[in-house]
Amino acid sequence: MLKSLSDLHKLAKANTKKRLVLAAAHDADAMAAVTNAYKNGIIDVVLVGDEKKITVISKEKSIDLSPYEVINEPEVNAAAEVAVRMVSEKKADIVMKGNLGTANLLRAVLNKEWGLRSGELLSHLALFEVPEYHKIIALTDAAMNIAPDIQGKVSLIKNAVGYLNKLGISNPKAALLSAAETVNFNMKSSTEAAILAKMNDRGQIKNCVLDGPLAFDNAISEKSAKKKGIKSPVAGDADLLIADDIDAANAIYKTFIYFSKAEIAAVIVGAKAPIVLTSRADTDKAKLDSIALAAAV
Would you give the distance in Å from CA 170 to the centre of its chain?
18
Q: What is the CATH number of the domain that holds 106?
A: 3.40.50.10950
Report if residue 228 sits inside a domain.
Answer: yes
- This prediction has a pTM of 0.95
- Give which of 103, 216, 200, 105 is closest to 153, Cα–Cα: 200
* 260 shares a domain with 131: yes
93 C-beta neighbours (distance < 10 Å), count: 21
Peptide bond into 213 cis (omega under 30): yes
Cα–Cα distance between 272 and 170 in angstroms, integer?
20
Length of the chain: 297
Cα–Cα distance between 295 and 286 in angstroms, integer?
14
Cα–Cα distance between 244 and 140 in angstroms, integer?
9
Report if residue 276 sits inside a domain.
Answer: yes
* 142 shares a domain with 27: no
Show pLDDT as tens, one digit a residue, over the chain (297 residues): 788 999 999 999 998 999 999 999 999 999 999 999 999 999 999 999 999 999 999 999 999 999 999 999 999 999 999 999 999 999 999 999 999 999 999 999 999 999 999 999 999 999 999 999 999 999 999 999 999 999 999 999 999 999 999 999 999 999 999 998 999 999 999 999 999 999 999 999 999 999 999 999 999 999 999 999 999 999 999 999 999 999 999 999 999 999 999 999 999 999 999 999 988 788 999 999 999 999 999
Report if residue 213 sits inside a domain.
Answer: yes
Report if residue 31 sits inside a domain.
Answer: yes
pLDDT of residue 1: 74
Report if residue 1 sits inside a domain.
Answer: no
* 233 shares a domain with 134: yes
* 157 shares a domain with 76: no
- Give which of 258, 268, 50 is closest to 140, Cα–Cα: 268
* 177 shares a domain with 147: yes
Task: Report the domain count for the chain.
Answer: 2
The set of residues, in sequence order, having a beta carbon less than 8 Å from that of 199 and lying 6+ positions away, is: 154, 205, 210
pLDDT of residue 3: 87
Q: Which domain holds residue 25?
A: 6-117+271-295
pLDDT of residue 254: 95
pLDDT of residue 278: 87
* 243 shares a domain with 281: no
* 275 shares a domain with 259: no
* 17 shares a domain with 131: no
* 34 shares a domain with 93: yes
Q: What is the CATH number of the domain that holds 147?
A: 3.40.718.10
